[in-house]
Amino acid sequence: MTTLLQSYGAYIAKAAQQAQSADVQHHTKRALLDWTGALIAGGNLPTADLLRKAYADELLAPGAGHAPCSIAGSTAKAQLRAAAFINGTLSHLAEYDDIYRDGAYHPASPTISPAFALAQARGLGRDALLKAITAGYEVSTRIGSAVQPSHYKYFHTTGTAGVFGAAAACAALVQLSADEACHAMATAGTFASGLQQAFRSDAMTKPMHGGHAAEVGLSAALAAAAGMTGTPDLLEGEAGFGAAMSAGARWGEALDGLGTDFNITRMTFKNHGCCGHTFPAIDGAAALQAQHRIAPDTIKAIRIGAYKAGVEVCAYRRPQSAFEAKFSLTYTVAARLVLGRVRELAFMPDTLANPQIRALEDKITVHEAPACTQHFPKKRSAQIEIELLSGEVFSRHQDTRHGDPDDPLTDEELLDKFYELTTPRIGRAHAEALSMAIMGEADVPVAALANYWQSE
Protein backbone atom coordinates (compact mmCIF):
# COMPACT_ATOMS: atom_id res chain seq x y z
CA MET A 1 0.00 0.00 0.00
CA THR A 2 1.36 3.41 -0.97
CA THR A 3 1.78 5.77 1.98
CA LEU A 4 1.04 9.49 1.91
CA LEU A 5 4.72 10.43 1.95
CA GLN A 6 5.40 8.04 -0.92
CA SER A 7 2.66 9.78 -2.91
CA TYR A 8 4.12 13.17 -2.03
CA GLY A 9 7.56 11.93 -3.02
CA ALA A 10 6.30 10.86 -6.43
CA TYR A 11 4.68 14.28 -6.91
CA ILE A 12 7.89 16.11 -5.94
CA ALA A 13 10.07 14.08 -8.31
CA LYS A 14 7.65 14.71 -11.18
CA ALA A 15 7.14 18.40 -10.40
CA ALA A 16 10.88 19.03 -10.38
CA GLN A 17 11.05 17.90 -14.01
CA GLN A 18 7.97 19.72 -15.35
CA ALA A 19 7.56 23.31 -16.48
CA GLN A 20 5.24 25.46 -14.42
CA SER A 21 2.11 26.98 -15.92
CA ALA A 22 2.21 30.76 -16.23
CA ASP A 23 -0.53 31.13 -13.61
CA VAL A 24 1.15 28.94 -11.00
CA GLN A 25 4.51 30.57 -11.61
CA HIS A 26 2.99 34.04 -11.18
CA HIS A 27 1.44 33.09 -7.85
CA THR A 28 4.75 31.58 -6.75
CA LYS A 29 6.52 34.81 -7.67
CA ARG A 30 4.03 36.63 -5.43
CA ALA A 31 4.97 34.30 -2.59
CA LEU A 32 8.69 34.87 -3.18
CA LEU A 33 8.19 38.64 -3.32
CA ASP A 34 6.20 38.66 -0.10
CA TRP A 35 8.74 36.45 1.70
CA THR A 36 11.53 38.76 0.57
CA GLY A 37 9.77 41.83 1.96
CA ALA A 38 9.08 40.10 5.27
CA LEU A 39 12.68 38.88 5.44
CA ILE A 40 14.21 42.30 4.82
CA ALA A 41 11.89 43.88 7.40
CA GLY A 42 12.68 41.18 9.96
CA GLY A 43 16.41 41.45 9.34
CA ASN A 44 16.32 45.07 10.51
CA LEU A 45 14.74 44.44 13.94
CA PRO A 46 16.65 44.41 17.25
CA THR A 47 15.88 40.72 17.76
CA ALA A 48 17.67 39.99 14.49
CA ASP A 49 20.86 41.43 15.96
CA LEU A 50 20.61 38.98 18.85
CA LEU A 51 20.15 36.04 16.49
CA ARG A 52 23.10 37.02 14.31
CA LYS A 53 25.17 37.43 17.50
CA ALA A 54 24.19 33.92 18.57
CA TYR A 55 25.45 32.60 15.21
CA ALA A 56 28.57 34.78 15.11
CA ASP A 57 30.90 31.77 14.99
CA GLU A 58 29.20 30.58 11.79
CA LEU A 59 29.26 33.91 9.93
CA LEU A 60 32.05 35.25 7.75
CA ALA A 61 32.69 38.80 6.64
CA PRO A 62 32.53 39.43 2.87
CA GLY A 63 35.55 37.93 1.16
CA ALA A 64 36.76 36.17 4.30
CA GLY A 65 35.93 32.62 3.25
CA HIS A 66 33.65 30.38 1.29
CA ALA A 67 30.36 30.60 3.16
CA PRO A 68 27.94 30.75 0.23
CA CYS A 69 24.67 32.10 1.63
CA SER A 70 23.34 35.57 2.33
CA ILE A 71 21.49 36.47 5.51
CA ALA A 72 19.16 39.42 5.90
CA GLY A 73 20.36 42.59 7.59
CA SER A 74 24.07 41.85 7.18
CA THR A 75 26.77 41.78 4.55
CA ALA A 76 28.21 38.67 6.22
CA LYS A 77 27.68 35.24 4.70
CA ALA A 78 26.67 32.03 6.44
CA GLN A 79 27.02 28.34 5.85
CA LEU A 80 23.99 26.60 4.39
CA ARG A 81 22.19 25.33 7.50
CA ALA A 82 22.87 28.49 9.48
CA ALA A 83 21.44 30.61 6.66
CA ALA A 84 18.30 28.45 6.55
CA PHE A 85 17.76 28.87 10.29
CA ILE A 86 18.56 32.58 10.42
CA ASN A 87 16.50 33.60 7.38
CA GLY A 88 13.72 31.23 8.38
CA THR A 89 13.52 33.01 11.71
CA LEU A 90 13.92 36.54 10.39
CA SER A 91 11.25 36.12 7.71
CA HIS A 92 8.71 35.26 10.43
CA LEU A 93 9.92 37.89 12.87
CA ALA A 94 8.13 41.02 11.64
CA GLU A 95 4.74 39.22 11.26
CA TYR A 96 4.35 40.09 7.57
CA ASP A 97 4.70 36.61 6.04
CA ASP A 98 1.96 34.81 4.15
CA ILE A 99 -0.73 32.44 5.45
CA TYR A 100 -2.43 29.32 4.18
CA ARG A 101 -5.81 29.90 5.78
CA ASP A 102 -7.15 26.34 5.82
CA GLY A 103 -4.03 25.11 7.59
CA ALA A 104 -3.55 28.02 10.02
CA TYR A 105 -0.02 27.99 8.64
CA HIS A 106 2.70 30.40 7.46
CA PRO A 107 4.47 28.42 4.70
CA ALA A 108 6.97 30.99 3.40
CA SER A 109 9.29 31.11 6.39
CA PRO A 110 10.05 27.38 6.63
CA THR A 111 9.68 26.60 2.91
CA ILE A 112 11.34 29.43 0.99
CA SER A 113 14.19 30.14 3.41
CA PRO A 114 16.03 26.81 3.08
CA ALA A 115 15.30 26.49 -0.63
CA PHE A 116 16.67 29.98 -1.26
CA ALA A 117 19.85 29.22 0.69
CA LEU A 118 20.32 25.90 -1.11
CA ALA A 119 19.72 27.47 -4.53
CA GLN A 120 22.22 30.23 -3.79
CA ALA A 121 24.81 27.75 -2.52
CA ARG A 122 24.50 25.62 -5.67
CA GLY A 123 24.42 28.47 -8.14
CA LEU A 124 20.85 27.83 -9.31
CA GLY A 125 18.40 30.25 -10.88
CA ARG A 126 15.13 31.82 -9.81
CA ASP A 127 12.96 29.57 -11.96
CA ALA A 128 14.33 26.40 -10.36
CA LEU A 129 13.66 28.00 -6.98
CA LEU A 130 10.08 28.80 -7.99
CA LYS A 131 9.36 25.17 -8.85
CA ALA A 132 10.82 24.06 -5.53
CA ILE A 133 8.76 26.59 -3.61
CA THR A 134 5.58 25.38 -5.28
CA ALA A 135 6.32 21.77 -4.37
CA GLY A 136 6.97 22.70 -0.76
CA TYR A 137 3.76 24.70 -0.51
CA GLU A 138 1.61 21.99 -2.13
CA VAL A 139 2.82 19.28 0.23
CA SER A 140 2.92 21.21 3.50
CA THR A 141 -0.36 23.08 3.08
CA ARG A 142 -2.18 19.79 2.58
CA ILE A 143 -0.56 18.26 5.65
CA GLY A 144 -1.26 21.37 7.72
CA SER A 145 -4.89 21.46 6.66
CA ALA A 146 -5.48 17.75 7.33
CA VAL A 147 -4.59 18.01 11.02
CA GLN A 148 -6.68 21.10 11.77
CA PRO A 149 -8.42 22.44 13.75
CA SER A 150 -7.38 20.27 16.71
CA HIS A 151 -3.67 20.57 15.90
CA TYR A 152 -3.77 24.31 16.53
CA LYS A 153 -4.89 23.85 20.12
CA TYR A 154 -1.32 23.10 21.19
CA PHE A 155 0.94 23.30 18.14
CA HIS A 156 2.24 26.07 15.89
CA THR A 157 1.71 24.79 12.36
CA THR A 158 4.57 26.84 10.95
CA GLY A 159 6.99 24.81 13.04
CA THR A 160 5.27 21.45 12.51
CA ALA A 161 3.91 21.26 8.96
CA GLY A 162 6.73 23.61 8.01
CA VAL A 163 9.32 20.83 8.20
CA PHE A 164 7.54 19.04 5.35
CA GLY A 165 7.49 22.21 3.25
CA ALA A 166 11.21 22.68 3.79
CA ALA A 167 12.08 19.07 3.00
CA ALA A 168 9.84 18.96 -0.07
CA ALA A 169 11.20 22.22 -1.51
CA CYS A 170 14.81 21.20 -0.99
CA ALA A 171 14.14 17.73 -2.39
CA ALA A 172 12.63 19.26 -5.52
CA LEU A 173 15.48 21.73 -5.88
CA VAL A 174 18.18 19.04 -5.93
CA GLN A 175 15.92 16.69 -7.92
CA LEU A 176 15.77 13.79 -5.50
CA SER A 177 14.05 10.61 -6.67
CA ALA A 178 10.56 9.82 -5.44
CA ASP A 179 11.92 7.45 -2.79
CA GLU A 180 14.56 9.94 -1.65
CA ALA A 181 12.01 12.74 -1.39
CA CYS A 182 9.77 10.46 0.67
CA HIS A 183 12.65 9.71 3.04
CA ALA A 184 13.53 13.39 3.30
CA MET A 185 10.02 14.25 4.49
CA ALA A 186 9.86 11.20 6.76
CA THR A 187 13.06 12.22 8.50
CA ALA A 188 12.00 15.85 8.76
CA GLY A 189 8.61 14.95 10.21
CA THR A 190 9.97 13.28 13.30
CA PHE A 191 11.63 16.58 14.25
CA ALA A 192 8.44 18.64 13.84
CA SER A 193 7.87 20.96 16.78
CA GLY A 194 6.52 24.32 17.89
CA LEU A 195 4.20 24.92 20.86
CA GLN A 196 1.43 27.50 21.09
CA GLN A 197 2.62 28.52 24.55
CA ALA A 198 5.71 30.03 22.94
CA PHE A 199 3.69 32.98 21.67
CA ARG A 200 1.35 33.50 24.59
CA SER A 201 3.94 35.67 26.30
CA ASP A 202 6.36 38.36 25.17
CA ALA A 203 9.05 35.91 24.10
CA MET A 204 11.34 35.72 21.05
CA THR A 205 10.77 32.01 20.40
CA LYS A 206 7.84 32.00 17.98
CA PRO A 207 9.73 33.07 14.83
CA MET A 208 12.42 30.51 15.63
CA HIS A 209 9.83 27.81 14.93
CA GLY A 210 10.05 28.77 11.26
CA GLY A 211 13.84 28.81 11.40
CA HIS A 212 14.01 25.41 13.04
CA ALA A 213 11.62 23.92 10.47
CA ALA A 214 13.70 25.39 7.65
CA GLU A 215 16.94 23.92 8.97
CA VAL A 216 15.36 20.54 9.76
CA GLY A 217 13.84 20.17 6.29
CA LEU A 218 17.08 21.17 4.59
CA SER A 219 19.13 18.76 6.67
CA ALA A 220 16.67 15.95 6.04
CA ALA A 221 16.78 16.50 2.27
CA LEU A 222 20.56 16.49 2.23
CA ALA A 223 20.60 13.37 4.41
CA ALA A 224 18.19 11.62 2.03
CA ALA A 225 20.38 12.59 -0.91
CA ALA A 226 23.27 10.84 0.87
CA GLY A 227 21.21 7.68 1.39
CA MET A 228 19.65 8.19 4.85
CA THR A 229 16.17 6.67 5.15
CA GLY A 230 13.07 7.55 7.14
CA THR A 231 9.69 6.00 7.96
CA PRO A 232 7.35 6.19 4.93
CA ASP A 233 4.17 5.95 7.05
CA LEU A 234 5.24 8.71 9.42
CA LEU A 235 2.08 10.73 8.79
CA GLU A 236 -0.66 8.11 9.11
CA GLY A 237 1.12 5.48 11.24
CA GLU A 238 -0.44 4.54 14.57
CA ALA A 239 2.31 6.38 16.46
CA GLY A 240 2.92 8.96 13.74
CA PHE A 241 2.48 12.68 13.13
CA GLY A 242 -1.31 12.61 12.85
CA ALA A 243 -1.89 10.42 15.89
CA ALA A 244 0.46 12.48 18.06
CA MET A 245 -0.54 15.96 16.92
CA SER A 246 -4.21 15.82 15.95
CA ALA A 247 -7.52 14.57 17.25
CA GLY A 248 -8.52 12.80 14.06
CA ALA A 249 -6.40 13.86 11.08
CA ARG A 250 -8.34 13.87 7.81
CA TRP A 251 -5.75 12.01 5.76
CA GLY A 252 -8.37 11.13 3.17
CA GLU A 253 -8.18 14.76 1.98
CA ALA A 254 -4.41 15.06 2.04
CA LEU A 255 -3.82 14.21 -1.63
CA ASP A 256 -6.86 15.99 -3.09
CA GLY A 257 -5.89 17.92 -6.22
CA LEU A 258 -2.17 17.32 -5.76
CA GLY A 259 -0.39 18.40 -8.95
CA THR A 260 -3.55 19.74 -10.61
CA ASP A 261 -5.16 22.16 -8.14
CA PHE A 262 -2.53 24.41 -6.61
CA ASN A 263 -2.92 25.76 -3.09
CA ILE A 264 -0.22 28.34 -3.77
CA THR A 265 -2.78 30.17 -5.92
CA ARG A 266 -4.94 30.63 -2.79
CA MET A 267 -2.53 32.21 -0.34
CA THR A 268 -3.37 34.94 2.11
CA PHE A 269 -0.96 37.87 1.95
CA LYS A 270 -1.02 40.07 5.01
CA ASN A 271 -2.34 43.59 4.69
CA HIS A 272 -1.50 44.38 8.32
CA GLY A 273 1.73 43.87 10.25
CA CYS A 274 0.35 41.78 13.09
CA CYS A 275 -1.12 38.40 13.91
CA GLY A 276 -3.57 37.27 11.24
CA HIS A 277 -6.19 36.47 13.87
CA THR A 278 -6.70 40.21 14.36
CA PHE A 279 -7.44 40.88 10.69
CA PRO A 280 -11.21 40.21 10.49
CA ALA A 281 -11.86 42.60 13.37
CA ILE A 282 -9.51 45.24 11.93
CA ASP A 283 -11.13 45.01 8.50
CA GLY A 284 -14.67 45.02 9.89
CA ALA A 285 -14.07 48.05 12.10
CA ALA A 286 -12.38 49.89 9.22
CA ALA A 287 -15.31 49.15 6.92
CA LEU A 288 -17.79 50.56 9.44
CA GLN A 289 -15.61 53.62 9.96
CA ALA A 290 -15.47 54.32 6.23
CA GLN A 291 -19.15 53.61 5.61
CA HIS A 292 -20.42 55.84 8.40
CA ARG A 293 -17.54 58.34 8.56
CA ILE A 294 -16.85 57.60 12.20
CA ALA A 295 -14.32 59.77 14.01
CA PRO A 296 -12.52 57.91 16.82
CA ASP A 297 -13.47 60.51 19.44
CA THR A 298 -17.18 59.98 18.75
CA ILE A 299 -17.07 56.30 19.76
CA LYS A 300 -18.58 55.16 23.06
CA ALA A 301 -17.93 51.43 22.76
CA ILE A 302 -16.74 48.74 20.35
CA ARG A 303 -17.79 45.12 20.80
CA ILE A 304 -15.86 42.42 18.93
CA GLY A 305 -17.00 38.84 18.49
CA ALA A 306 -14.15 36.62 17.31
CA TYR A 307 -13.38 32.93 16.86
CA LYS A 308 -11.91 31.08 19.84
CA ALA A 309 -8.31 30.90 18.60
CA GLY A 310 -8.24 34.64 17.98
CA VAL A 311 -9.65 35.39 21.44
CA GLU A 312 -7.07 33.15 23.09
CA VAL A 313 -3.98 34.04 21.07
CA CYS A 314 -4.64 37.80 20.76
CA ALA A 315 -5.70 38.52 24.33
CA TYR A 316 -3.23 41.28 25.27
CA ARG A 317 -4.71 44.57 26.48
CA ARG A 318 -2.81 47.85 26.78
CA PRO A 319 0.32 46.20 25.31
CA GLN A 320 3.71 47.28 26.56
CA SER A 321 5.80 46.00 23.65
CA ALA A 322 5.56 45.58 19.90
CA PHE A 323 5.15 41.82 20.35
CA GLU A 324 2.20 42.22 22.70
CA ALA A 325 0.65 44.83 20.41
CA LYS A 326 0.84 42.53 17.39
CA PHE A 327 -1.09 39.92 19.38
CA SER A 328 -3.74 42.29 20.73
CA LEU A 329 -7.21 42.42 19.16
CA THR A 330 -8.09 45.54 21.12
CA TYR A 331 -4.91 47.49 20.32
CA THR A 332 -4.80 46.67 16.61
CA VAL A 333 -8.44 47.64 16.06
CA ALA A 334 -7.94 50.90 17.95
CA ALA A 335 -4.75 51.63 16.02
CA ARG A 336 -6.48 51.06 12.68
CA LEU A 337 -9.29 53.47 13.54
CA VAL A 338 -6.85 56.16 14.73
CA LEU A 339 -3.95 55.74 12.30
CA GLY A 340 -5.69 54.50 9.17
CA ARG A 341 -3.44 51.45 8.78
CA VAL A 342 -1.71 48.86 10.95
CA ARG A 343 1.79 48.63 9.57
CA GLU A 344 5.17 49.41 11.09
CA LEU A 345 4.24 52.82 12.56
CA ALA A 346 1.57 51.18 14.70
CA PHE A 347 4.20 49.28 16.68
CA MET A 348 6.75 52.01 17.31
CA PRO A 349 7.29 52.92 21.01
CA ASP A 350 5.78 56.39 20.65
CA THR A 351 2.70 54.97 18.94
CA LEU A 352 2.20 52.32 21.62
CA ALA A 353 1.86 55.16 24.10
CA ASN A 354 -0.46 57.24 21.89
CA PRO A 355 -3.18 58.51 24.27
CA GLN A 356 -5.85 58.49 21.57
CA ILE A 357 -5.20 54.84 20.78
CA ARG A 358 -5.05 53.95 24.48
CA ALA A 359 -8.34 55.71 25.20
CA LEU A 360 -10.09 54.01 22.31
CA GLU A 361 -8.69 50.59 23.23
CA ASP A 362 -10.23 50.92 26.68
CA LYS A 363 -13.64 51.15 25.00
CA ILE A 364 -13.25 47.80 23.23
CA THR A 365 -14.50 44.49 24.57
CA VAL A 366 -13.89 41.06 23.04
CA HIS A 367 -15.92 37.87 23.32
CA GLU A 368 -16.00 34.53 21.55
CA ALA A 369 -18.60 34.31 18.78
CA PRO A 370 -19.57 30.63 18.35
CA ALA A 371 -20.63 31.22 14.73
CA CYS A 372 -17.10 32.45 13.96
CA THR A 373 -15.44 29.60 15.88
CA GLN A 374 -17.53 27.04 14.02
CA HIS A 375 -15.99 27.94 10.66
CA PHE A 376 -12.35 28.30 11.78
CA PRO A 377 -9.82 27.83 10.17
CA LYS A 378 -11.34 27.79 6.67
CA LYS A 379 -13.15 31.06 7.28
CA ARG A 380 -11.72 33.92 9.34
CA SER A 381 -14.63 36.11 10.41
CA ALA A 382 -15.61 38.59 13.10
CA GLN A 383 -18.68 40.40 14.40
CA ILE A 384 -18.19 44.11 14.99
CA GLU A 385 -20.49 46.57 16.74
CA ILE A 386 -19.61 50.24 17.17
CA GLU A 387 -21.73 52.39 19.47
CA LEU A 388 -21.37 56.16 19.20
CA LEU A 389 -21.75 58.78 21.92
CA SER A 390 -24.82 59.95 20.03
CA GLY A 391 -26.51 56.62 20.72
CA GLU A 392 -26.22 55.31 17.16
CA VAL A 393 -25.09 51.70 16.82
CA PHE A 394 -23.55 50.23 13.67
CA SER A 395 -22.83 46.53 13.24
CA ARG A 396 -21.16 44.33 10.66
CA HIS A 397 -20.34 40.68 10.14
CA GLN A 398 -16.89 40.59 8.56
CA ASP A 399 -16.93 37.36 6.59
CA THR A 400 -13.29 37.31 5.52
CA ARG A 401 -10.03 39.25 5.60
CA HIS A 402 -8.69 41.50 2.87
CA GLY A 403 -5.79 39.45 1.59
CA ASP A 404 -7.55 36.09 1.89
CA PRO A 405 -8.11 34.18 -1.36
CA ASP A 406 -11.72 35.32 -1.59
CA ASP A 407 -10.61 38.98 -1.28
CA PRO A 408 -6.96 38.89 -2.43
CA LEU A 409 -4.41 41.67 -2.50
CA THR A 410 -3.80 42.82 -6.05
CA ASP A 411 -0.29 42.76 -7.48
CA GLU A 412 -0.23 46.53 -7.01
CA GLU A 413 -1.20 46.25 -3.33
CA LEU A 414 1.39 43.52 -2.80
CA LEU A 415 4.08 45.70 -4.37
CA ASP A 416 2.99 48.68 -2.27
CA LYS A 417 3.49 46.59 0.87
CA PHE A 418 6.83 45.31 -0.44
CA TYR A 419 8.12 48.83 -1.08
CA GLU A 420 6.94 50.05 2.31
CA LEU A 421 8.92 47.28 4.00
CA THR A 422 12.05 47.36 1.87
CA THR A 423 12.65 50.97 0.79
CA PRO A 424 13.72 52.22 4.26
CA ARG A 425 16.20 49.33 4.47
CA ILE A 426 17.74 48.98 1.02
CA GLY A 427 16.63 52.14 -0.80
CA ARG A 428 14.00 52.60 -3.48
CA ALA A 429 16.29 51.83 -6.41
CA HIS A 430 17.32 48.47 -4.98
CA ALA A 431 13.74 47.70 -3.95
CA GLU A 432 12.41 48.34 -7.45
CA ALA A 433 15.20 46.36 -9.11
CA LEU A 434 14.64 43.47 -6.72
CA SER A 435 10.89 43.39 -7.32
CA MET A 436 11.47 43.40 -11.10
CA ALA A 437 13.97 40.55 -10.82
CA ILE A 438 11.49 38.49 -8.81
CA MET A 439 8.35 39.27 -10.81
CA GLY A 440 9.85 39.64 -14.30
CA GLU A 441 9.95 37.13 -17.15
CA ALA A 442 13.71 36.54 -17.24
CA ASP A 443 15.34 33.88 -15.12
CA VAL A 444 18.12 35.27 -12.91
CA PRO A 445 20.62 33.66 -10.54
CA VAL A 446 19.32 33.39 -6.99
CA ALA A 447 22.60 34.91 -5.83
CA ALA A 448 21.72 38.06 -7.80
CA LEU A 449 18.47 38.40 -5.84
CA ALA A 450 20.38 38.16 -2.58
CA ASN A 451 22.74 40.94 -3.62
CA TYR A 452 19.90 43.45 -3.27
CA TRP A 453 19.55 42.72 0.44
CA GLN A 454 22.60 44.85 1.19
CA SER A 455 21.81 48.38 2.25
CA GLU A 456 22.69 51.27 0.01
Question: H/E element holding 365?
Answer: strand 364-368
In a domain, 404, yes or no: no
End-to-end CA separation in angstroms for the chain: 56
Question: H/E element holding 388?
Answer: strand 382-388
Whole domain around residue 360: which residue ranges?
A: 276-398
Whether 321 and 260 map to the same domain: the answer is: no
Whether 441 and 333 map to the same domain: the answer is: no
pLDDT of residue 453: 81
In a domain, 405, yes or no: no
CATH number, residue 143: 1.10.4100.10
At residue 285's C-alpha, the angle toward residues 282 and 286, to 5°, is: 80
pLDDT of residue 64: 66
List beta partners, residue 303: 365, 385
Helix axes 178-189, 4-15, angle to 10 degrees: 130
pLDDT digits (tens, 9 = 90+) for 109-122: 999 999 999 999 99
In a domain, 406, yes or no: no
Whether 292 and 383 map to the same domain: the answer is: yes
Whether 62 and 161 map to the same domain: the answer is: yes
pLDDT digits (tens, 9 = 90+) for 337-389: 999 999 999 999 999 999 999 999 999 999 999 999 999 999 999 999 999 99
Whether 338 and 382 map to the same domain: the answer is: yes
Look at residue 424 and give its three-state secondary structure: helix
Look at residue 74 and give its three-state secondary structure: coil
Q: pTM of the entire structure? A: 0.94
pLDDT digits (tens, 9 = 90+) for 257-279: 999 999 999 999 999 999 999 99
pLDDT of residue 146: 98
pLDDT of residue 65: 67
Whether 74 and 206 map to the same domain: the answer is: yes
In a domain, 403, yes or no: no
In a domain, 379, yes or no: yes
In a domain, 40, yes or no: yes
Last residue in a domain, options 398, 423, 442: 398
Residue 353, class by beta-carbon neighbours within 10 Å (0-12 exposed, 13-18 middle, 19+ buried)?
exposed
> What is the percentage of the chain residues whose pLDDT exceeds 90?
95
Taking 80 as the threshold, does the pLDDT of residue 62 lie above it? no
Whether 338 and 255 map to the same domain: the answer is: no
Whether 241 and 342 map to the same domain: the answer is: no
- Domains in the chain: how many in total? 2
Whether 220 and 339 map to the same domain: the answer is: no
pLDDT of residue 202: 85
Taking 90 as the threshold, does the pLDDT of residue 456 lie above it? no
What mean pLDDT, rounded, does the chain reach? 96
- Which among 163, 180, 155 is positioned nearest to 85, based on CA atoms? 163
pLDDT of residue 391: 98
pLDDT digits (tens, 9 = 90+) for 214-253: 999 999 999 999 999 999 999 999 999 999 999 999 999 9
At residue 166's C-alpha, the angle toward residues 163 and 168, to 5°, is: 105
- Per-residue confidence at 199, pLDDT binned at 50, 70, 90? confident
In a domain, 323, yes or no: yes
- Which among 173, 166, 115 is positioned nearest to 139, based on CA atoms? 166
In a domain, 456, yes or no: no
Torsion region of 229: left, alpha or beta (phi above 0 gives left; psi -120 to 50 gives alpha): beta
> What distance in Å separates the CA atoms of residue 421 and residue 197, rounded to the nearest whole number?
29
> What distance in Å separates the CA atoms of residue 82 and residue 70, rounded to the nearest whole number?
10
Whether 95 and 232 map to the same domain: the answer is: yes
Whether 297 and 207 map to the same domain: the answer is: no
Whether 304 and 375 map to the same domain: the answer is: yes
Last residue in a domain, options 376, 398, 420: 398
pLDDT of residue 63: 67
pLDDT of residue 428: 95
